[in-house]
Structure 1
Amino acid sequence: MADPEQYRATFEMVDVDGDGQISPAELRNLMRALGQDISETRAIEVVVQADGDRDGRISLPEFAALMETYTA
């Protein structure tokens, strides 16, 4: 299991409104900043995939788990 604290700094940069959650719009902004212009639909799909508690947003632990799948 991923240690959420190792992803906190990145998470906080993505969580622009500081509410402790990453929304599809914030994820999309991140991807744009990285040169990947993803659609709104794709951003929602990624959030749904990562959203373990089904609240429509990505928490820090969910973000850490998502990052582990991409770096493993």
Structure 2
Amino acid sequence: MADIESARETFAKFDIDGDGFVTAAEYKKAMAQLGDHFVTETVAQSIIDSKDANGDRLMSFDEFWASINKD
């Protein structure tokens, strides 16, 4: 099981505007800042969609937390 405080810190790096949600554009930008310049916005949206429980095409912290705590 992941540490929730570490997860919050990681999520905050992706939630660039601090609104509580990660968009595909934010995900792409954060990955580029981490050195992965190959993540396109389409790829980022696919990753978010795979974690998006409510279908809003955004990733909330709760969805992020659930995705890292899957058995």
Whether TM exceeds 0.5 here: the answer is: yes
TM range (shorter): 0.7 to 0.9
Single out whichever of 59-68 and 15-24 deviates more from structure 2: 59-68
> How has the CA–CA distance of structure 1 residues 18 and 2 changed in structure 2, closer, same or farther, with 3 Å as cutoff?
same
Match of 1:43 in 2: 44
Please provide the CA RMSD for this pair. 2.3
- Stretches of structure 1 lacking an aligned partner (at least 5 in a row): none
Tell me the TM-score normalized by structure 1: 0.77
Of the two structures, which has the highest relative contact order with CA contacts closer than 8 Å and spacing of 6 or more?
A: 1
Alignment of 1:6-17 (within 5 A): 6-17=6-17
1:26 aligns with 2:26: yes
Where is the strand percentage greater, Structure 1 or Structure 2? 2
Where is the helix percentage greater, Structure 1 or Structure 2? 1
CA offset digits 1:15-62 (Å, max 9, x no partner):
111110000011111111121121111011111111111111000011
Tell me the TM-score normalized by structure 2: 0.78
In the comparison of the two structures, how many residue pairs are matched? 70
Q: How far apart, in 1, do the equivalents of 2:19 and 2:27 lie?
A: 14
Match of 1:53 in 2: 54
Counting aligned pairs with the same residue, the percent is: 37
